[in-house]
A and B are shown apart, each in its own frame.
Chain A
Amino acid sequence: MWNTVFPYLLSGISVGGQYALIAIGYTMVYGILRLINFAHGDVFMVAGIIMIYISASGMPLYVCIPLVILFTALIGFLIERVAYKPLRSAPRMSVMISAIGVSYTLQNLVLYITGGLNKQYPTIPWISDSVTIGPATTKIVTVVTPFLTIFLVVALVLLINKTKIGMAMRAVSKDFETSQLMGININSVISTTFVIGSFLAGVGSILYFTNYNTVIQTSGAMPGLKAFVAAVFGGIGSIPGAVIGAFIIGIVENIIKGMDVILFKSGVIARPLGLATFSDAFTFALLIIILVVKPTGLFGEKATDKV
């Protein structure tokens, strides 16, 4: 039993860590702008594409990886400046539509550049190597991901709680207008948020695509949506919540993927049920249940509506 479940559990933890890195971007932006940044999943995908093109130019990896992360952060910054800043005083629906427009644009741009073909992700030495842990054989990246994720999250929480810019972020997410009156430069705080979110998405994309090998213009949509669900599940605006939500979703999703095999091997069912189809649907069912039962999520703060 354990031998069958363990590989799925392991890849679940790994995928969970990658979702967590994306989910932080969603939750931070939502915390400050009250905006679902629909383009965030596509930023993650673009990071993958940039990696492919930079490494194809023949530069060594220790130059490639920092460059990819740098460019991803830059893209996040530019998106905010071009598509969200002009709409700061517009209704929320307009900003959300703008976010959808950015997502559409990024996907089409990548479609144009790649010609709509699956691009092979470069192999990164060491983390692409195979390793055997107990009954499971997997890539080293699977093992590295959760540790790296937790390290980055701790660093981020320290940044938010101990530094001046972190304090400014907390202030802005509490009350937009008042913090402006207190002399906080709103635009630089928002830009920093987008840069941090995209930076983490860039790191996440390296880990994720090393596991999945190919990138196409739509590869960002699904992980993006799932990471968003994770952010809602954990309580949007809360960083630890997003991380825990992401791990839970990653694990359960992979268990469902392997449910047929697990049930079959333990003798519960005689024929496969094709339950793997529902691994994506599960995430959204969870989302709807969470929104109905506890809209503030696991760690979310209760928001009060003022008339």
Chain B
Amino acid sequence: MQKQGKKSISGATWVSLCLIVLVYVLVFIAEQVLPPTSMLFTVLKKGATYALIAVSMNLLNGFTGIFSLGQAGFMLIGAYVYAVFTIPLSQRMSVYQYYDGGIVQFTLPIFVAMILAGLVAAFFAFLIGLPVLRLKSDYLAIATLGFAEIVRAVFQWDKLGPLTNGSNMLRMFPNFNNFNLTDAEGHVTVYLSTLIPFLISGVCIALIVLLIHSGYGRALQAIRDDEIAAEAMGINLFHHKELSFCISSFFAGVGGAMLAMYQTTVQAKSFTSAMTYEILLIVVIGGIGSVTGSVISSFLFVACSEWWLRFLDEKQMIGTFEVPLLRNGFRLVVFSVVIMIVVLFFRRGIMGTKELPDLFRKRKGART
């Protein structure tokens, strides 16, 4: 899901691009053929959402070397901005039932609201970045974690109820199913509810990849590798960190909006630090510093947790023998053990720092 573009486009890049287009075509075809209730689509939708969020976190942790743990906070802001501005007017009375229909009395188109979600998240990132980005590694981690907790508390404040609905749920806003094309009677003619999230996430990730390969991106990687040397080469540390922090938060905000669409409801209390940890672990499994790795591991992670490993949570019988240990929660234990093994023994993750085109290059090199 990346485009390398610019100057000379190598064969490996073309192969990767074709592969990505092929994935999109397959998604489109699968959606028309398979029943829309299939587990596959749940995984694909959530996977696309997590892929974007994981890549945005990787931009900070993997490419800029800022160990930020505020992702859940920015996702929360994005999800709320999207939800608040897209709930249809006719539904506001029932959603904001304790606050007389809320104070926002207009709606924005879906895509405008998504971009706004990103912008608001980026604005907050700008503000919080001013003090926090001057801190060193682990202090920065804990300060951004604290920021996410503050955001969570503020959004649940009763006095902000007319805007955020207090600690109550936001719902009734357009979700992924609204992307399906329907005929006059409301029958779905073309299913797009999986393809569109793929496209949104794909475009955003492509933008991040372009940024990483630009001059700014190289400056960011220089900061990651050695702050002092980078500063000596004339890179303004603070400006570049702030830029990376805002951009990452922008996409985390858009990702939050997508998560809201996936869940169809939003509630501030679900955006805990555990959510940030989960995304961080996805990034680690994929390989810190690899966009491709983050994307692959997002889909793997979501597929395992929602689909493939579900059987671990239920009683299984082999003949008359009941498999021991299997009961609610066992899936997560297996998961945690796998993650610890990756963290301790395979620190490079799935991809290390390699990207998709590198895979084809290597194979070509082996042949000649």
Contacts and interface: CB of A to CB of B under 8 A. Distances in A.
A170 B343 CA distance: 30
Interface stretch (B49-57, B109-117, B293-301, B325-333): B325-333
A73 to B, nearest CB: 21
Contacts, number: 135
A97 B58 CA distance: 14
Nearest to B342: A101
B336 to A, nearest CB: 4
A90 interface: yes
B146 A101 contact: no
Contacts of B138: 34-36, 92, 96
A92 B347 CA distance: 13
Given A105-B337, A274-B159, A285 B150 contact: yes
Contacts of B67: 93, 96
Contacts of A116: 328-329
A281 B150 contact: yes
Interface residues of A, number: 49
Interface string B152-184: 011011110000000000000000000000000
Contacts of A124: none
A285 B327 CA distance: 41
A225 B149 contact: yes
Given A97-B284, A281-B150, A92 B137 contact: yes
B147 A284 contact: yes
A108 B135 contact: no
Given A36-B142, A278-B157, A98 B147 contact: no
Given A112-B329, A232-B142, A278 B347 contact: no
Nearest to B153: A281
Nearest to B130: A292
Given A96-B138, A101-B340, 13 more contacts: A98-B343, A100-B281, A101-B339, A104-B336, A104-B339, A108-B333, A108-B335, A113-B329, A116-B328, A284-B145, A284-B149, A288-B128, A307-B228
Which 8 interchain pairs have the tightest Cβ spacing?
A284-B146, A112-B329, A281-B153, A105-B336, A274-B158, A108-B332, A292-B131, A281-B150
10 contacts: A93-B288, A97-B281, A98-B340, A101-B340, A104-B281, A115-B328, A221-B272, A225-B145, A280-B149, A291-B131
